[in-house]
């Protein structure tokens, strides 16, 4: 077995164990493999090991991989990095879903591009739960307003929330952020019935995220190995 297949098997086992600890079914949590910076061969290897759901951070980087990834057949690739307003048409053509909407304008443009392609693109709203300036996402206080605006846009459907907590060695540091995102989802889904998904948890804290209700965990390093510097995004 190749290294990536081995890593995937281990992560799937750990994911199932985390589900058991949390009293959840393993099929309630989707494993998204994040191959940013790595060559497309890594995605092909993961695909050969049964992986079908992938996350990519940059529109342009995935554009270069897209043809070979499409050739694999049954794959689902989400954009999990920031979407610039001038890349919405490209994103609509390349990705199955966009998990990082944090602005009405981007949603409107993406929706128009999707509608022009005869598609409805599932989106997540990225929420900023820490005051760090560099983090993307909408402030929780602006979430209802944004959902009011975005939920009426044709061509997209809001499926849930996504967050990236501040990076820490200690997975427990992320727990309050994950919990907060779940609470926000629980409040919002009363009014916005399609808001169900929680995309949260990465290589070093996905167990905690599952504990707190994640429906998708986004795992890069634990599957594909360390990324070459300078990326720690
Ligand atoms: C890179 C990245 C991941 C994966 O991070 P790892 O720590 O390598 O698992 C998940 N989500 C987002 C948004 C990322 O940019």
Summarised one tens digit per residue, pLDDT across range 16-35 is 999 999 999 999 999 999 99
Q: Is residue 219 in contact with ligand 1, taking CB distance under 6 Å? A: yes
Q: In angstroms, rounded to a whole number, what is the distance separating the alpha carbons of residues 155 and 174?
A: 33
**pLDDT on residue 133:** 65
Judged against a pLDDT cut of 70, whether residue 139 lies above it is answered with: yes
- Give the C-alpha distances (Å, rounded to integers) separating 209 from 6, 98, 200, 228, 233: 23, 20, 6, 26, 19
Helix, strand, or coil here: 120? coil
Residue to probe by mutation, ligand 1, list 78, 220, 232, most atoms within 8 Å of CB: 220
Q: Is residue 80 in contact with ligand 1, taking CB distance under 6 Å? A: yes
CA 140: distance to chain centroid? 18
Neighbours of 112 (CB within 10 A): 16
* Closest ligand 1 atom to 81 CA: 13
Name the band, by pLDDT with cuts 50, 70 and 90, for residue 131. confident
Q: In angstroms, rounded to a whole number, what is the distance separating the alpha carbons of residues 123 and 114?
A: 11
Residue nearest to atom 7 of ligand 1 (CA): 203
pTM metric for this prediction: 0.96
Summarised one tens digit per residue, pLDDT across range 166-198 is 888 899 999 999 999 999 999 999 999 999 999
Residue nearest to atom 6 of ligand 1 (CA): 220
Residue to probe by mutation, ligand 1, list 57, 169, 173, 209, most atoms within 8 Å of CB: 57
Q: How far, in Å, from the CA of 121 to the mean position of ligand 1?
A: 22
């Amino acid at each position: 077995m190749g290294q990536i297949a081995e890593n995937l098997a281990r992560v799937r086992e750990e994911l199932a164990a985390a589900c058991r600890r949390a009293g959840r079914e393993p099929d309630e949590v989707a494993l998204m493999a994040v191959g940013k910076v790595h060559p497309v061969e890594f995605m092909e290897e993961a695909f050969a090991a049964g992986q079908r759901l992938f996350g990519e951070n940059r529109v342009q980087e995935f554009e270069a991989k897209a043809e070979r990834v499409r050739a694999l057949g049954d794959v689902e690739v989400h954009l999990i990095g920031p979407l610039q307003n001038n890349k919405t048409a490209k994103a609509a053509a390349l990705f199955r879903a966009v998990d990082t909407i944090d602005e009405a304008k981007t949603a409107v443009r993406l929706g128009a591009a999707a509608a022009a392609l005869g598609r409805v693109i599932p989106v997540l709203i990225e929420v900023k739960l820490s005051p760090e300036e560099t983090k993307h996402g909408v402030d929780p206080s602006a979430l209802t307003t944004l959902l009011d605006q975005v939920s009426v846009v044709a061509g997209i459907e809001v499926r849930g929330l996504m967050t990236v907590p501040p990076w820490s060695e200690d997975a427990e540091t992320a727990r309050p952020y994950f919990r907060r995102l779940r609470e926000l989802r629980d409040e919002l889904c009363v009014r916005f019935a399609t808001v169900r998904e929680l995309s949260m948890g990465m290589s070093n804290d996905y167990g905690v995220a599952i504990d707190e209700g994640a429906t998708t965990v986004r795992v890069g390093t634990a599957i594909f190995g360390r990324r070459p510097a300078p990326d720690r995004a």
